Amino acid sequence: MLTADLGWVPISTVSAGDELATLAIVTAENGQRQRRLQTAQVTDVAHVRRPTVELQTDEVTVSVAADARVLPYTHDFRDACRFRSGQRVKTVLTPTPDPDSVAYRDGYVHGAFAGDGSVVKTKTTKNATLRCQDEEIIERVDAFARDEYGLQRKGREFNSLHEIRTTIWKEVDLLDGLLPIDPTQVDDLDYCRGWLAGMFDTDGAFDGHTVRFTQTKPEQRKALQLLLGRLGFEYVVEQKGVRVRGANSRLRVLSAIRPVVSRKIRSYAGIMVNGSAEVVGVAERPVRDTYDISLDRGDAYVLEGLCVEAV
């Protein structure tokens, strides 16, 4: 299922109180009713044993209850068992695996420091410091950083910034040698995802329409172009940063890299859903446990990219 922060979790792990990316019908200025993305909270999860089907599209294969109501591309919800090959279903993103790897964690730390960190070296002192207004960034860097970096969280009483730093010379030199990017890991796609997530959290912006890395340093821009290209995203280098090209890429890039700052990610609220996939087959499957999801608002959640009606 697609979470409110554009991550993916198994439906079996969802419980009341969780926040999801969902769909709701809104009336546009021209009077047309449109389904747009929003966030909603799960109010109830019911477990029901019933017949299931395997709905296969040209993008994903989804196992759902035979009577689960799935959203076609041009009509209202329809039972999953009633779809036929050649018909189209409305989609929101394609699931991406959770980047739980050492390479991703390394990339995130390096990207965060490259985005908003500082390394100071003088004859008498050295330090590597990251200060951010969003505590989630510091918490993630603290959790992801290798022990040999020696990073320690610091309290800040005179301003609202959160901080993590090291002043041990050999640790500063080690981290500095890996910035803005570790050339030995750029072929690892998880490293690319982590680095871009760290850079986005510290020095990126999303207004619901455009994903932009607001970085002006030449070396960082070069790294941005390299890693976006590695992940298959098109971009434009502008005076105020590096912009990800394509309306369909704005959510794709955020879901792929998994940043952590919710206030930036959730700017997708209000985006109209235009994605679609072709049904290539529907197969009956045995009776098994299924899940009915209730939401506090909206009429559908996103399961494996498909839009499924809430109960």
Q: What is the pLDDT of residue 157?
A: 54
Q: What is the pLDDT of residue 158?
A: 57
Domain membership of residue 6 (yes or no) is no
Q: In this structure, are 253 and 280 located in the same domain?
A: no
Length of the chain: 311
**CA–CA dist 51, 39 (Å, integer):** 30
Q: In this structure, are 156 and 234 located in the same domain?
A: yes
Q: In this structure, are 60 and 132 located in the same domain?
A: no
Q: In this structure, are 136 and 257 located in the same domain?
A: yes
Q: Provide φ and ψ at 208, rounded to 5°.
A: 95, -20
Q: In this structure, are 116 and 193 located in the same domain?
A: yes
* CATH of residue 19: 2.170.16.10
* CATH of residue 131: 3.10.28.10
Domain membership of residue 1 (yes or no) is no
**CA–CA dist 28, 25 (Å, integer):** 10
Q: In this structure, are 204 and 62 located in the same domain?
A: no
State the residue range of the domain holding 195.
102-268
Domain membership of residue 2 (yes or no) is no
Q: In this structure, are 129 and 77 located in the same domain?
A: no
**What is the per-residue burial (b if ≥16 Cβ within 10 Å, else e) of 46-65?**
eeeeeebbebbbebbebbbb
Domain membership of residue 4 (yes or no) is no
The pTM score is 0.92
Q: In this structure, are 149 and 249 located in the same domain?
A: yes
Cα-based angle 259, 265, 268 (whole degrees, multiple of 5):
145
Q: In this structure, are 108 and 56 located in the same domain?
A: no
Domain membership of residue 97 (yes or no) is no
Q: In this structure, are 262 and 116 located in the same domain?
A: yes
Q: What is the pLDDT of residue 30?
A: 79
Beta bridge mates, 89: 72, 277
Tens of each residue's pLDDT in the chain, 311 residues: 999 999 999 999 999 999 999 999 887 777 778 889 999 999 999 999 999 999 999 999 999 999 999 999 988 999 999 999 999 999 999 898 888 899 999 999 999 999 999 999 999 999 999 999 999 999 999 999 999 999 999 876 556 789 999 999 999 999 999 999 999 999 999 999 999 999 999 999 999 889 999 999 999 999 999 999 999 999 999 998 999 998 778 899 999 999 999 999 999 999 988 899 999 999 999 999 999 999 999 999 999 999 999 99
Q: What is the pLDDT of residue 156?
A: 64
Boundary (domain end) residue, out of 235, 253, 268: 268
Q: In this structure, are 109 and 185 located in the same domain?
A: yes
Domain membership of residue 232 (yes or no) is yes
Domain membership of residue 180 (yes or no) is yes
Q: In this structure, are 84 and 64 located in the same domain?
A: yes
